[in-house]
Amino acid sequence: MIKKTVSIIGGGVSGISAALQCEIEHIDYTLIEKLHLGGMIKYANSINNVPFIDKGINGNDITTLLKKRMKDLEKNIVYNKVIDVKFKENSFYISLLSGEIFISKYLIWATGSIPVNPDFFIPKECENKIFYYPDLDVDNIDNKVIVYGGGDIAFDYALTLRKTINNISIYCRNKIKANRSLINEVVEKDIKYNELSEISKLSFKKEMIDISFKNGISIKTNYLVIAIGRKPNNELINSMIDNRKLFRIGDANNDFRQLVCASSDGIKAIMEISQRENNGC
């Protein structure tokens, strides 16, 4: 068992910001990440609301910057999935898929968000043609891709996909909710969007997904990307949400999911821990 003052779960922008602040405050910590450093930001097409980085930088470039920033801190990073968290004897017991257990006085929960599942049935044959992120490996640029959703993320995914695929359209259940800049960019890139188009049924015919909408329309597509919303990834800690030594940060805590908010959450949580430790409480 490994004992630290702070365990940070999740190596996205919020978790990385917490780790960097631990370095400044000289607090011992472990950061546990199940996949790769950087988290969700790698999917962003173009970031324009962070004042201290170049306008229009894309998510992959930010991920590269984050990985570079963490290069010298690898000794504090464990690449594995957290599968269970318990609070006993005034400490958090964090179990990993590998079987290892980490114990810490404070827990920083920086696990981001997970996609909301659709309420229509997904036939088994369609499963490998349906995605929740824009990382399709499409060999033919003329394949048809439908993005389902009307918010910023759906529009951003469509723009990312448009870089490698010609035939993208967006369908959404209600009215579009994406911000005006994204709508303008989608129109500029010749991506058609369709409002009031709620999916009622999917079937699989001749290697294509057949989508029926409640408005009576039916279309065929090679791939479907579902982006109808995201929710905080808090399942493992729901029972201890009021624990004063647990800090939920970034997208795991915020309804408005933004880089600067995620980063400031991470910094604030560690500053508070440092203050408590210095005051002996």
Ligand X SMILES: Cc1cc2nc3c(=O)[nH]c(=O)nc-3n(C[C@H](O)[C@H](O)[C@H](O)COP(=O)(O)OP(=O)(O)OC[C@H]3O[C@@H](n4cnc5c(N)ncnc54)[C@H](O)[C@@H]3O)c2cc1C
Query: Which residues contribute to the site for ligand X (CB under 6 A)?
Result: 9-15, 32-35, 39-41, 43-44, 47, 49-50, 81-82, 110-113, 153, 156-157, 233, 250-251, 257-260, 262
* Closer residue to ligand X in complex, CB, 13/269: 13
**Minimum CB distance to ligand X, residue 91 (Å):** 18
Cα 168 from Cα 189, distance rounded (Å)? 10
- Indicate the pairing of strand 208-213 with strand 167-171: unpaired
CB of 118 to ligand X, least distance (A): 18
Spatial separation of the C-alpha atoms in residues 119 and 128, rounded to whole Å: 18
Identify which of residues 81 and 220 has a Cβ nearer to ligand X in the complex.
81
Eight-state DSSP code of residue 133 = S
Q: 121, 127 in Cβ contact below 8 A?
A: no
Integer CA distances (angstroms), 117 to 132, 137, 148, 227, 278, in order? 9, 22, 12, 9, 44
Cβ closest to ligand X, residue 20 vs residue 259 = 259
- Smallest distance, ligand X to C-beta of residue 99, A: 14
Nearer to ligand X, 129 or 251 (CB): 251
Least distance in Å: CB of 154 to ligand X? 9
Beta-strand pair 208-213/199-205: antiparallel
Nearer to ligand X, 24 or 97 (CB): 97
- How far does CA 252 lie from the centroid of its chain? 9
CB of 252 to ligand X, least distance (A): 6
Which lies closer to ligand X via its Cβ, residue 112 or residue 118?
Answer: 112
Q: How many CB atoms lie within 10 A of CB 178?
A: 22
Question: How far is CA 272 from each of CA 3, 17, 156, 265, rounded to the nearest angstrom?
Answer: 20, 14, 35, 11
CB of 96 to ligand X, least distance (A): 8
Instruction: Tell me if 262 sits within 8 A of 254, measured CB to CB.
Output: yes
Distance between CA atoms of 147 and 168, rounded to whole angstroms?
Answer: 7
- The distance of closest approach from Cβ of residue 18 to ligand X in the complex, given in angstroms and rounded to an integer, is 9
Q: For ligand X, which is the closer residue by CB, 66 or 202?
A: 66
